Structures are given as structure tokens and as C-alpha cells.
Amino acid sequence: MADTGIFATTAEVQRKAGANASATANVEAYINDFMTQAESKINTLCLLNWSDLYAGLNADVKGILKEAASNLAAMYVIQYDMSGFTSRYEAETMLDVLKDGFNQALSLLKDIKKRDFVNGA
């Protein structure tokens, strides 16, 4: 099986999910599913299909998409089964950090969309 996500790879998600993530969910098949959901959510929340535009985007925008998608997919991996973490606090802290990064990246992506609209006027 190969990575099917557009914005981020399995390895990038695995690094963010951490060493104690579920061995069941922290595999390519699950992460491919989580990436599809993450990419769709990002596109929908931004009201722009970044997936279709991806090939023509510059490296900076691709990096923000990678951050948003890998953060959200890693959150899905962690929440699948938190029992492997040394404490619930450890898992919750990781989820909080990833959520903050996702929200920041999403805000930047929405701002890029607005600026492009204004610049194109």
C-alpha cells in the first residue's frame, strides 16, 4: 500500500502521533483514511478545494497544508486509542498542541484565500 494523501505522508503523521500511539491506528491504511478525512475537512472549512489546486501551489502554501493535514490526522491516530500513552495527560497535551497547530494553519489558509480574492480583483 502507498500513501494516498495529497498534503502529507504517513511518516509525517506518525512522527506527530508519537512513539506511544496505537499500533493499530498508526499504520498506513488507517492514516490514509484519516488523511482523506483531514484533507476534505480543510477544503470544506476553507471553502476552497486545495486538493485540486495543489500542484500549482508554492512551497510555503504546501507546507501549511502539510502542517494542517498531518496535525489533524495525527489527532485521529492518538484519539483512536490513548491507552499506550504513559498517562491520559500525555495524550491530551499532544492533542492540544496538534489542535493549536491545526487551527493556526487553518487560519493562515483562510487568510491566503481572502488575499488571493482581493489581489485578483
- Flag whether 119 is in a domain: no
> Residues 12-54: pLDDT tens digits?
999 999 999 999 999 999 999 999 999 999 999 999 999 999 9
- Flag whether 66 is in a domain: yes
- Flag whether 79 is in a domain: yes
- Flag whether 62 is in a domain: yes
- Flag whether 78 is in a domain: yes
- Flag whether 91 is in a domain: yes
Smallest CA-to-CA distance from 36 within 1, 64, 63, 76 is with 76
Cα–Cα distance for residue pair 25/34, rounded to 1 Å: 9
| pTM of the full structure | 0.92
The arithmetic mean of pLDDT across residues 48-65, rounded, is 95
> Residues 111-121: pLDDT tens digits?
987 786 545 43
* Res 3: pLDDT: 87
Count of domains observed in the chain: 1
Q: What is the DSSP string of the chain?
A: -----SS--HHHHHHHH-TTS-TTTSSHHHHHHHHHHHHHHHHHHHTS-HHHHGGGS-HHHHHHHHHHHHHHHHHHHHHH--TTSS-HHHHHHHHHHHHHHHHHHHHHHHHHHHHHHHHT-
Cα–Cα distance for residue pair 6/54, rounded to 1 Å: 8
- Flag whether 11 is in a domain: no
Expressed as residue numbers, the domain containing 70 is: 20-113
CA-based Rg of the chain, rounded to a whole angstrom? Answer: 15
- Flag whether 13 is in a domain: no
